[in-house]
Amino acid sequence: MSQFISVFEMLKIGVGPSSSHTLGPWRAAQQWIQKLKSEQLFKKLDRIQVDLYGSLSLTGKGHATDLAILLGLSEADPEYIPIEDIFIIVERINIQEEIYCKGGKIIPFPRSSIKFNREFLPFHANGMTFKGFCEDKEISSETYFSIGGGFIVQENNSLEDEIEISKKNFPFPINRAIQLEEYCEKENLLISEIVFKNELELRSYEEIDHQLRRIWDTMLESMYLGCHTFGTLPGGLNVKRRAFDTHQKLIKDTSYTNPEEWITAIRSSEVKFREILKWVSCLALSVNEVNASLGRVVTAPTNGSAGVIPAVLMYYMVIENHDADFSHVKRFLLTAGEIGSIFKKNATISAAMGGCQAEIGVSSAMAAAALTEMLGGTVAQCLSAAEIAMEHHLGMTCDPIGGLVQVPCIERNSMGAIKAIHAAEIALETNPKECLVSLDKVIDTMWETAKDMNKNYKETSEGGLAVTVRLADC
Ligand code: SF4
Ligand 1 atom closest to 305 (CA): 7
The burial class, CB within 10 Å (0-12 / 13-18 / 19+), for 179 is: middle
- For residue 399, the CA-to-ligand 1 centroid distance in Å is 7
With the most atoms of ligand 1 within 8 angstroms of its CB, the residue from 22, 305, 414 to mutate is 305
Distance (Å) from CA 2 to ligand 1 centroid: 30
Number of domains in the chain: 2
Residue-level pLDDT at 282: 98
- Answer yes or no: do 150 and 181 share one domain: no
How far apart CA 67 and CA 216 sit, in angstroms, is 27
One domain for residues 255 and 351? yes
- Note the pLDDT of residue 293: 95
Q: How far is the CA of 231 from the centre of ligand 1 (A)?
A: 22
Rounded to the nearest 10 degrees, the angle between the axes of helix 259-267 and helix 243-251 is: 60
Residues 376, 228, single domain; the answer is: yes
Give domain status of residue 389, yes or no. yes
Contact predicate 20/150, CB 8 Å: yes
Distance 252 CA to ligand 1 centre (A): 32
Q: Is the CB of 409 under 6 A from ligand 1?
A: yes
Dihedral angle of Cα 51, 343, 422, 381, to the nearest 10 degrees: -170
Q: Which of 128-137, 160-169, 235-244, 367-376 has the lowest mean pLDDT?
A: 160-169
> Does residue 170 sit in helix, strand or coil?
coil
Could you identify the atom of ligand 1 that is nearest to the CA of residue 397? 1
Q: Is the CB of residue 412 below 6 angstroms from any atom belonging to ligand 1?
A: yes
Do both 128 and 207 map to the same domain?
no
Which of 163, 192, 226 is the last residue in one of the domains? Answer: 163
Q: Averaged over 373-399, what is the pLDDT?
A: 98
Residue partners of 14: CB distance under 8 A and separation at least 6: 22, 23, 26, 78, 79, 150, 296, 297, 298, 299, 303
Domain match, 154 and 183 both: no
Atom index in ligand 1 nearest the CA of residue 396 equals: 2
The better pLDDT of the pair 208, 101 is held by 208
Atom of ligand 1 lying closest to residue 355 CA: 3
Q: Nearest residue CA, atom 6 of ligand 1?
A: 409
End-to-end C-alpha distance for the chain, whole angstroms: 51
Residue owning the nearest CA to atom 5 of ligand 1? 405
Burial of 441 from C-beta contacts in 10 A (0-12 / 13-18 / 19+): middle
Nearest of 418, 417, 415, 403 to residue 464 by alpha carbon: 403
Q: Are 401 and 471 in contact (CB under 8 A)?
A: yes
4: pLDDT strictly greater than 80: no
Q: Express each pLDDT in 68-107 by its tens digit.
A: 999 999 999 999 999 999 999 999 999 999 999 988 899 9
CA atoms within 13 A on the CB side of 286: 29
Tens of pLDDT, residue by residue over 14-52, are 999 999 999 999 999 999 999 999 999 999 999 999 999
21 Cβ contact partners less than 8 Å away, ≥ 6 residues apart: 55, 56, 59, 60, 63, 64, 65, 68, 126, 146, 459
Whether 328 is in the pocket of ligand 1, judged by its Cβ within 6 Å, is no
pLDDT digits (tens, 9 = 90+) for 338-348: 999 999 999 99
pLDDT 10s digits, 149-187: 999 999 876 555 555 445 567 899 999 999 999 999 999
- Mean local confidence (pLDDT), 222-229: 98
Is residue 276 domain-resident?
Answer: yes
- Domain holding 133, by residue range, is 16-163
Of the residues 114, 135, 163, which one is the last residue of a structural domain? 163
135, pLDDT greater than 80: yes
| Whether residue 404 has its Cβ less than 6 Å from ligand 1 | no
Mean pLDDT of the chain: 94
Alpha carbon of 277 to ligand 1 centroid (Å): 22
Q: Which atom of ligand 1 is nearest to the CA of 356?
A: 3
Q: Ligand 1 within 6 A of 408 CB? A: yes
458 lines ligand 1 (CB under 6 A): no
- Nearest CA to 338 out of 446, 204, 195 is that of 195
Nearest residue (CA) to ligand 1, atom 4: 398
301 domain-assigned = yes
308 lines ligand 1 (CB under 6 A): no
In the chain, what percentage of residues exceed pLDDT 70?
Answer: 96
Q: Is the CB of 226 under 6 A from ligand 1?
A: no
Answer whether residue 1 is part of any domain.
no
Beta pairing, strands 106-108 & 151-153? unpaired
The answer to whether position 170 is within a domain reads no
Positive/negative CA dihedral, 62, 280, 216, 231 = positive
Query: Residue 324: which pLDDT band, with cuts at 50, 70 and 90?
Result: very high
Residue 438 lies in a domain: yes
Cα(352) to ligand 1 centroid in Å equals 9
Ligand 1 neighbour 360 (Cβ under 6 A): yes
**Does ligand 1 come within 6 angstroms of the Cβ of 359?**
yes
Q: Are strands 47-54 and 114-117 parallel, antiparallel or unpaired?
A: parallel
| Final residue in a domain of this structure, among 138, 163, 188 | 163
- CB-based contacts of 157, cutoff 8 Å, min separation 6: none
The more confidently predicted of residues 278 and 165 is 278
Considering only CA atoms, which residue is closest to atom 1 of ligand 1? Answer: 398
d(C-alpha 5, C-alpha 163), whole Å: 8
pLDDT value, residue 156:
72
For atom 3 of ligand 1, which residue has the closest CA? 356
Let me know if residue 2 belongs to a domain. Answer: no
Distance 248 CA to ligand 1 centre (A): 27
Specify the CATH number for the domain of residue 32. 3.30.1330.90
How many angstroms is it from 398 CA to the middle of ligand 1? 5
DSSP string for residues in 199-239: HTTTS-HHHHHHHHHHHHHHHHHHHHHHHT--SB-SSSS-P
**Is 329 in the same domain as 408?**
yes
340 alpha carbon – ligand 1 mean position (Å)? 17
Residue 90's SS3 state is helix
Together in a domain, 194 and 137:
no
Pair (157, 192) in one structural domain: no
pLDDT of residue 270: 84
Q: Are 204 and 141 found together in one domain?
A: no
- Pair 109, 196 in one domain: no
**Residue with the nearest Cα to atom 2 of ligand 1?**
356
Q: Are 402 and 461 in contact (CB under 8 A)?
A: yes
39 and 89 housed in the same domain: yes
Question: Are residue 253 and residue 345 in the same domain, yes or no?
Answer: yes
Look at residue 8 and tell me if it is in a domain: no
Please give the model's pTM, rounded to 2 decimal places.
0.94
390 pocket-lining for ligand 1 (C-beta < 6 Å): no
Contact call for residues 337 and 195 (beta carbons, < 8 A): yes
Looking at the chain, the whole-number percentage of residues with pLDDT higher than 90 is 92
